[in-house]
A = this chain, B = another copy of it.
Amino acid sequence: MNIYDVSERANVSIATVSRVINGNPNVSEKTRNRVLAVMDELGYTPNVFARSLGLNTMRTIGIMCADSSDPWLAGAIYYLEQELRRSGYDSLLCCSGYLPETKKKYLELLLSKRVDAVILAGSHYVEARQKDNAYLIEASKELPIMLVNGCLDGKQIYSTVCDDRTAVYESVTRLIRSGRTSVLYLYAGSSYSNLQKLAGYHDACAAAGLNIRDDLVRICPKDLDGTEELLRSLASAGLKFDAVFAAEDVMAVGAVKYANKTGIKIPDEMNIIGYNNSILSRCTDPELTTVDNKVESLCTTTVTTLMKVLGGGNVPVKTTISAELIKRGTTDF
- Kindly identify, within residues 85 to 112 of chain A, every residue whose CB is under 8 Å from any CB belonging to chain B: 85, 90-95, 111-112
Stretch at the interface among A48-56, A152-160, A193-201, A316-324: A48-56
Nearest CB in chain B to that of A256: its residue: B285
> Is A218 positioned at the interface, with any CB of B under 8 Å from its CB?
no
Nearest CB in chain B to that of A284: its residue: B283
B280 touching A93 by the CB < 8 A rule? no
- Kindly identify, within residues 159 to 202 of chain A, every residue whose CB is under 8 Å from any CB belonging to chain B: none
4 closest Cβ pairs, A-B complex: A74-B74, A283-B283, A69-B78, A49-B52
A81 touching B52 by the CB < 8 A rule? no
Complexed CA–CA distance, A58 and B49 (Å): 8
B94 touching A81 by the CB < 8 A rule? yes
> Is A279 positioned at the interface, with any CB of B under 8 Å from its CB?
yes
A253 touching B68 by the CB < 8 A rule? no
Also in contact, A112 and B45, with CB within 8 A (given A68-B77, A74-B69, A77-B93): yes
Chain B nearest Cβ from A298, distance in angstroms: 14
Interface string of A63-93 (1 = CB under 8 A from B): 1000111110011011001100100001111
> Is A257 positioned at the interface, with any CB of B under 8 Å from its CB?
yes
**A residues contacting the other copy or chain, number (CB 8 A):** 46
Which residues on A are within 8 Å of B, measured CB to CB?
45-50, 52-53, 56, 58, 60, 63, 67-71, 74-75, 77-78, 81-82, 85, 90-95, 111-114, 224, 250, 253, 256-257, 260, 279-280, 282-285
**Residues on B with beta carbons closer than 8 Å to the beta carbon of A58:** 49
Complexed CA–CA distance, A145 and B112 (Å): 27
A279 touching B282 by the CB < 8 A rule? no
**Residues on B with beta carbons closer than 8 Å to the beta carbon of A45:** 111-112
Also in contact, A95 and B69, with CB within 8 A (given A112-B48, A114-B48): no
Nearest CB in chain B to that of A85: its residue: B94
Complexed CA–CA distance, A90 and B115 (Å): 12
**Residues on B with beta carbons closer than 8 Å to the beta carbon of A68:** 68, 74, 77-78, 81
